[in-house]
A and B are shown apart, each in its own frame.
Chain A
C-alpha cells in the first residue's frame, strides 16, 4: 500500500509542479494582456481631474439595430476623436450586464429599446441628469424626461406585419385578427422578451382600461401564438409558416420589405402605441464630458438623419423620415406612460400565463 503511494506521489510531484507553473504563467500572461486597459483607465480618471480634453474614451451599451448603433458611434468618433467601446445586445442583455457590474460599473451611456426600463433606472437613482443637452427642446416631450435623465433619440411604432403572399386584404383593426380567417395564422412577440410588445400591451390597456383584456382573450381563442422576441416572431411570417405578426416592430418590417421580402405593415385605424428608445448617462460614468458630448451628438441633425435612414422614427420632431411612415401619419392610442411603467410586470405575468 505504502509502496504505491510513494511512487505515485513521486511522479505526481514532478508533473504537479510543472502544471502549476504552466498555470501560473498562463494567468500571468492574461494579466499582462490587460495592462493596456489599465493604462487607459488611469489616464481616463487622471484626465477627468485635469481637463476633459485628455479623456479619450467612452463606453456605450446600446440596443440594436446593429447597423445604426455602429454608424452613430462612428459619427461621434469622427467628430470628437474619442474612442468608443460599444457593447450591443437586447435591452434585457444590457440590463443583465449592468446588474452584474453593479458594484463596479463600466458603461457610461446606455441606449435601450424600452422606456419603462430607463424609467426604472431613473427611479433607482442610476442616471445622471443632463438638462442642458443641446437640441433637447426639439425632442418629442412625451418620450423624454423633463429633468434630462433620459432622451428618446429614436422610436418605433407597433403595427400589424403580414405576408403579402398569404394575406391579400390586410386587416385594418386590432380586432380583425380575432376573426376566423386568421385562425392559427398570427404570432405575437413575448412581452417578457420584447420591450416594444410589452409597450403595446400596457399602452393598449392604459387606453382601453381593463376591458382591453377582452382583445387578448379573443386572440388566445383564435390560436394566436406567443413567439419569442420581435425578430423571432417576424421570421416565420417572412418564410410563410405564419401569416401575421401583431404588435410587430415597424422598422424590422420596413427593412425586410426593402430587401424585397414578401412582407408589409399596417397601423390599425383605432390607433397604436409608439415605443421610444431612450439614451441615458449613468451616474457612475468616469467620462462625464464625453458622455454628454455623445448625447449632444445623438440629438444632432446628422445623427437624427442616420436614425431616419435606419427606418426608425427620429426623436426630434423637426427631422422627417422618408423611408417610412412619419409620426403624423400614424394613428395613436391615448396611452399613459406612468401607468404603463407601473403595471409592466403584472401585465407581462398575466399575459404570459394566458398564452402559455
Chain B
C-alpha cells in the first residue's frame, strides 16, 4: 500500500460520502431556500428579510430559544442523577430499567401531552380521583408545565449518553484521584466533570435542537397556553390557506442558523474536552461512589421519575382508550375494550396501518444504520475541513424542523426532471425516515468511535493484523453498541413519526401515527389512544427482546 493510493482511497471515501449527503440532504434543503427567494416566480434576494421584518418573528424566536434552554435544564435535573445511579449503584443491575426508560421517549410527544392535559385539566382525571387537588390546574397550564412535559419526554436521550460516558470513565481514574487525597467534590469537579463534558455538550445540544424543532407538544399543549414557537409558526404558514412556503422557509433558515451556531459551540467544546478513554485495560465501576443511604434515595428518585414520565401519561392514555363515553369520565361501568377489538381485527384499516409502520421502520432503521455508520467512520475525529463538512451535513436533518426537511424532500423528489420515480411510493417514505433519523446513528457511532484510543489499532497492527481483521475484531465490537443504539432509536422514532408521514405517505396508505392523528381529528379519541398503546407496547416488546438477546450474548 503506497502512500499515494492510501491518500486516494481516503479522498475517494470522503468524496463519496459528501456526494451522497449532497444528493440526499443538502439539495432538498437548497430547494427550500430557492423557494424562499423566488416570490411570484421572480427572484427577490431580500424576500426572506422582508418576511422576517414583517412578522412578529423576534418574539417567537426568543420563545423557542428560551424553551430550549429551560428544557436543557429540566432534562439535566432528571438525567444526570439517573445516569449516576445507573452507572454507580447496585441498581445498575436493573437492566430492564434501560428499556422502560425508553418508553417516555417512544411515546409520541403529542400523545404524551394529551395524556397530561386529560389528567390535569378542569374536570380531568386528577380532579375526578382527588377533587381536592383542583387548585393545581392553573399552575400546570403554564410554561413550567410545558417544560416539564418536554423534559419528561426527552430526558432518556441525555441519560443514555451520560450513562455511556460514566461507564467508560470507569473507576480507576477516580480511585487514582482518591489515592492522591482528593475529596468527593474535588474528584467530581476535576475528574468526572471534564470527562463528562463532551458527552453532556452533545446531549444538551441534541436536546436543545429537538426542543426547538419539536412540533407535537407546542401544537397540543403550547396552543392551550398561548405559547407560540418557531415550529408552530412555520406550521401555520405551511398548512393553512394561503400557503406561504416563502415565509415558512425564511423562518426555517433562521432556525437552522441558530442550530448551526449551537452545533459549532458544541464541537468546540467537544474538541477541547474529548479524551481517549477506552484503552487496552478493562474498566470497572468505581466503588468509591456507593454508600448505604444513597441506594434508598436512588430507588425513591427512580420511582418518582417513573410515575411522572410513564405512570401519569399512561394512566390517561389507557383510561381514554378504554372509555365508552368520554363525557362520563372515570367509572367502572364506562369501561370497554371495544376500541382494541376494532383495532386488532385482522384485515382492518388499523391493522394495515400498524403493519405498514412496522415494515417501513424496519427498512428505514436498517438503511439508516448502514448509512450512519459509514458517515460516522468517514467523519472520524473531524480533523479536516471536509470531515467537518460531512459531520455538519449529516447532522442537518436533526437541526431543521422535520416539516421543513420533508417539504424540501417533496420539492426535490417530485421535480419534473427527477429521473428516479421515488415520489409517492413506499421507497420515498423509507428514504424520508432514513434522512430524518440518520443523525442518531451518526451521533451514537461517532461517540463510541471517537473515544476509542488509537493505541488499540496500533496494537492490532503490531501483532500483524490486516486492516480488515483489525476492523472486524477491534473496531466493530467497539462500535456495535453505538450501531445497535442507532438502530433501536431509528426504529422506535420512525414507527411513530408523524409530521413527515402526514405529507409524504402515498395516497391510500396510513401508518399508525397518521392513523392516530386522523382519529383525533375525527373525534375518535379512544381509537387513537388504543392505537398509541399498541404501537408503543409493540416497540417496547421488541426492545426487551433485543436487550435480553444482547445480555445473554454478553454473559455467556
Answer whether A and B are interacting partners. Answer: yes
Residues of A that sit less than 8 Å from B by CB: 2-16, 19-20, 22-23, 26, 29-31, 33-34, 37-38, 59-61, 64-67, 84-93, 95-97, 99-101, 103-104, 106, 114, 116-117, 120, 163, 165, 190, 192-193, 195, 227-229, 231-232, 234-236, 238-242, 252, 255-256, 259-263, 344-345, 356
Specify which chain A residues have a CB less than 8 angstroms from the CB of B374 in the assembled complex: 15-16, 19-20, 23
30 contacts between A and B (CB under 8 A): A4-B458, A7-B461, A7-B467, A10-B6, A11-B468, A11-B471, A12-B467, A13-B13, A19-B374, A22-B370, A23-B20, A23-B374, A30-B425, A33-B426, A59-B507, A67-B522, A85-B507, A89-B502, A92-B243, A93-B502, A101-B414, A103-B414, A190-B223, A231-B521, A232-B520, A235-B523, A236-B121, A239-B118, A239-B121, A239-B327
- Known contacts A19-B373, A356-B226, then 4 further A-B pairs from the complex at CB < 8 Å, ordered by chain A residue: A16-B378, A31-B421, A38-B421, A241-B122
Specify which chain A residues have a CB less than 8 angstroms from the CB of B508 in the assembled complex: 84-87
Specify which chain B residues have a CB less than 8 angstroms from the CB of A26 in the assembled complex: 367, 370
Whether B422 pairs with A31 at a CB distance below 8 angstroms is: yes
Partner of A239, one of B123, B228, B324: B123
What total of chain B residues lie within 8 Å of the partner, measured CB to CB?
Answer: 80
How far is it, in angstroms, between the C-alpha of A252 and the C-alpha of B508 when the chains are bound?
Answer: 23
Specify which chain A residues have a CB less than 8 angstroms from the CB of B420 in the assembled complex: 31
Smallest CB-CB separation from A2: which chain B residue?
B3
Provide the main secondary structure of the chain A interface.
helix
- B108 CB → nearest A CB, Å: 16
Smallest CB-CB separation from B226: which chain A residue?
A356
Whether B325 pairs with A90 at a CB distance below 8 angstroms is: no
Q: Which 8 A-B pairs have the closest CB atoms?
A: A30-B427, A10-B467, A11-B467, A92-B239, A11-B471, A85-B507, A87-B507, A240-B123
- A244 CB → nearest B CB, Å: 13
User: Which residues 1-41 of B sit at the A interface, judged by CB distance below 8 A?
Assistant: 1, 3, 6-7, 9-10, 13, 16, 20
Whether B121 pairs with A19 at a CB distance below 8 angstroms is: no
Specify which chain B residues have a CB less than 8 angstroms from the CB of A255 in the assembled complex: 523
Contact A12/B10 with A34-B425, A236-B121 known, Cβ cut-off 8 Å: yes
Residue interface mask B402-417, A partner, CB < 8 A = 1? 0000010011001110
User: Which residues 367-416 of B sit at the A interface, judged by CB distance below 8 A?
Assistant: 367, 370-371, 373-374, 377-378, 380, 407, 410-411, 414-416
Specify which chain A residues have a CB less than 8 angstroms from the CB of B123 in the assembled complex: 239-241
- B474 CB → nearest A CB, Å: 9
Residue interface mask B467-487, A partner, CB < 8 A = 1? 110110001000000000000
User: Which residues 222-262 of B sit at the A interface, judged by CB distance below 8 A?
Assistant: 223-224, 226, 228, 236, 238-243, 245
Contact A228/B13 with A15-B377, A23-B371, A261-B327 known, Cβ cut-off 8 Å: no
Residues of B that sit less than 8 Å from A by CB: 1, 3, 6-7, 9-10, 13, 16, 20, 118, 121-124, 219, 223-224, 226, 228, 236, 238-243, 245, 324-329, 367, 370-371, 373-374, 377-378, 380, 407, 410-411, 414-416, 420-428, 430-431, 454, 457-458, 461, 466-468, 470-471, 475, 502-503, 505-508, 518, 520-523, 525
How far is it, in angstroms, between the C-alpha of A193 and the C-alpha of B220 when the chains are bound?
Answer: 13
Contact A239/B414 with A7-B457, A231-B521 known, Cβ cut-off 8 Å: no
How far is it, in angstroms, between the C-alpha of A262 and the C-alpha of B328 when the chains are bound?
Answer: 8
How far is it, in angstroms, between the C-alpha of A5 and the C-alpha of B467 when the chains are bound?
Answer: 11
Specify which chain B residues have a CB less than 8 angstroms from the CB of A242 in the assembled complex: 122
- A109 CB → nearest B CB, Å: 11
Contact A10/B416 with A64-B521, A235-B525, A241-B123 known, Cβ cut-off 8 Å: no
Smallest CB-CB separation from A166: which chain B residue?
B123
Specify which chain A residues have a CB less than 8 angstroms from the CB of B224 in the assembled complex: 227
Partner of A30, one of B239, B378, B422, B467: B422
* B20, B329, B415, B467: most-surrounded residue (chain A CB, <10 A): B467
How far is it, in angstroms, between the C-alpha of A140 and the C-alpha of B468 when the chains are bound?
Answer: 75
- B276 CB → nearest A CB, Å: 13
Specify which chain B residues have a CB less than 8 angstroms from the CB of A13 in the assembled complex: 9, 13, 467
- B468 CB → nearest A CB, Å: 5
Partner of A256, one of B245, B427, B457, B523: B523
Contact A165/B10 with A85-B506, A100-B503, A101-B414 known, Cβ cut-off 8 Å: no
Specify which chain A residues have a CB less than 8 angstroms from the CB of B503 in the assembled complex: 93, 96-97, 100
